[in-house]
Structure 1
Amino acid sequence: MGIFTDFLTDVAYLAEDVVDFVIDNPIKVTAVVATTVATGGLSLVAAPAIAAAAGGAGLLGATSTGVAISGLSGAALTSASLAALGGGTIAAGGAGVAGGTAAITAAGAVTGAVASGVGVAVTK
């Protein structure tokens, strides 16, 4: 129980530090949040094109039926690529197209958060 209590105390102190930073730097925090939302939104919109480019370049292997994703085109290429990025089709135990879209969106949001966070750190 001592380790858990220490962990909770550390989390509480960290949360307090975060709140203090937000209060002291509202413009920087707003910039980081806005950039994260913007890049995540852009990634959501671009997810089909990003997945199709990765699939068409041969980066995603084959479908569950053994067909090379790079040999597909159009909607089949996009759907297979998104499903591959989502860990496979839902029928095969993966997250499917929605999972692939979520993965690309999350990667874009994280990229935006890291880039804007680095920018904030540099200007400190």
Structure 2
Amino acid sequence: MGWYESLVDSIESVGRGIDRAVTGTIDVVGGGLDSAIDTVKENPGKSAFFAAAAVATGGVALAAAPAIGAAASAAGLGVAGGTLSGAAASSAGLAAIGGGSLASGGGGMLLGTQIITATGAAGGAAVSGSFLKMQSK
């Protein structure tokens, strides 16, 4: 077998591995989605409260993202951490939270903002879920 056939076999093997991983993930997510839908059907009021809390806290986190980015930069996060102020500090902090600038291969300010927003929404969902669990006892 030559190098070309070996390369093709390797690529096919990787493709089969990816296919198995994706198929397995879809099966797991599909089962979890069915369970989530059943829970929402059984508890529509609680589910609405849970969703509203997640949206509200995610929105607050989105609005606060520039300030959080500036605080992260002031705390020394990122290359120029602690040396910038204003919009530059906010941008640098958000980029640092996002894994670095786009030019350096990171996710940039957009990913930093998304991480902050998702964290805020997840926090709100967790707190509201805990509240609802306490109320149901």
Same fold at TM > 0.5: yes
Distance in 1, Cα, partners of 2:50 & 2:65: 22
Q: Does 2:115 correspond to 1:103?
A: yes
Q: Does 2:125 correspond to 1:117?
A: no
2:16 paired residue number: none
Match of 2:55 among 15, 37, 41: 37
Percent identity between the two aligned chains: 46
- Per-residue deviation, 1:71: 1.2
1:68-124 residue CA offsets vs partner (Å, 9 max, x unmatched): 311111111111101000100001000101111111011101101111111111112
Q: How does 1:49-88 map to 2 (within 5 A)?
A: 49-58=67-76, 60=77, 62-63=78-79, 68-88=80-100
Larger radius of gyration: 2
Distance in 2, Cα, partners of 1:53 & 1:9: 38
- Per-residue deviation, 1:10: 9.4
Question: Which stretches of structure 1, 4 residues or more, deviate above 6 A after TM superposition?
Answer: none
Structure 2: unaligned runs, 5 residues or longer: 1-19
Q: Which is richer in helix?
A: 2
TM-score by length of 2: 0.73
Distance in 2, Cα, partners of 1:8 & 1:25: 25
Q: CA RMSD in A?
A: 2.3
Change (3 A) 1:10 1:50: closer
Distance in 2, Cα, partners of 1:100 & 1:11: 29
Q: Does 2:35 correspond to 1:23?
A: no
Distance in 1, Cα, partners of 2:60 & 2:37: 28
1:20-70 residue CA offsets vs partner (Å, 9 max, x unmatched): 321221110000000001111111111000111122122x1x42xxxx311
**What is the count of residue pairs matched by the alignment?**
114
Structure 1: unaligned runs, 5 residues or longer: none
